[in-house]
Amino acid sequence: MDPVTIDTTKIKHMKKKPETAIEKLEDTGLINTLLAAKDREGLILLTTIDQLFNWARLSSLWPVTSGLACCAIEMMATAMAHHDIARFGMEIFRASPRQADLMFVAGTVTKRMAPRVKQLYEMMAEPKWVISVGSCANTGGPYHESYAVLKGVDQIIPVDVYIPGCPPRPEAWIYGVIQLRQKIKNEGYGAKWGLNK
């Protein structure tokens, strides 16, 4: 019987399609790059464009000036030196909604005021976020049975974070801002790949 010679140069290796998230990362070579960066003691910064944008967005949120009732006093206290919301890059409350990307709905939203709140929201630049502050903005508060009060601002605009209280203390405001920053950080493909750590 003659020996069989196999020409290995003509064999095509079939690459297995990645199925899990880890296999997809290995397929892109990202894990090897991360390990190489770790060996070089962090001299390489590795991120995705959307994570870079998210970092810029969460580091410079500009709220629109909109105080509807007594919660607005607590908003002013949050911006003062003792609590200092400026540590999050939010020290400038914008007078124009076209320059803002965050809206605090602070106080009772009456049915007469609702179209104006919605118009302010629609005039804001994309991406935009909303924090509903206090019982009145969240659910109508003590006025929930009134014919003139909206039963929550989420009936007219989408809300990202709810801050409970009547009125909520500045510490609760800061916690709400931290929750919004976490939400912004976890948006996009980089978060799905686990690069938001």
The pLDDT of residue 121: 92
The pLDDT of residue 157: 92
Backbone angles phi, psi at 17, to 5 degrees: -70, 135
> pLDDT tens across 117-159, in order?
999 999 988 888 999 998 888 888 888 788 889 888 999 999 9
The pLDDT of residue 90: 81
**pLDDT band per the 50, 70, 90 thresholds, residue 3:** low
Residue 133 zone, left/alpha/beta (φ > 0; ψ -120 to 50; rest): beta
The helix (run of H) or strand (run of E) holding residue 183 is helix 170-185
Query: Which of 144, 145, 181, 176 is closest to 153 using CA atoms?
Result: 144
> pLDDT tens across 39-90, in order?
656 556 666 777 777 788 878 888 887 788 888 888 888 888 788 888 888 8
Q: Please say if the pLDDT value at position 169 is more than 70.
A: yes
Q: What is the model's pTM?
A: 0.72
| DSSP structure string for 21-65 | HHHHHHHHTHHHHHHHHHHTTS-S----HHHHHHHHHHHS--EE-
> What are 102's two structure tokens?
């965050």
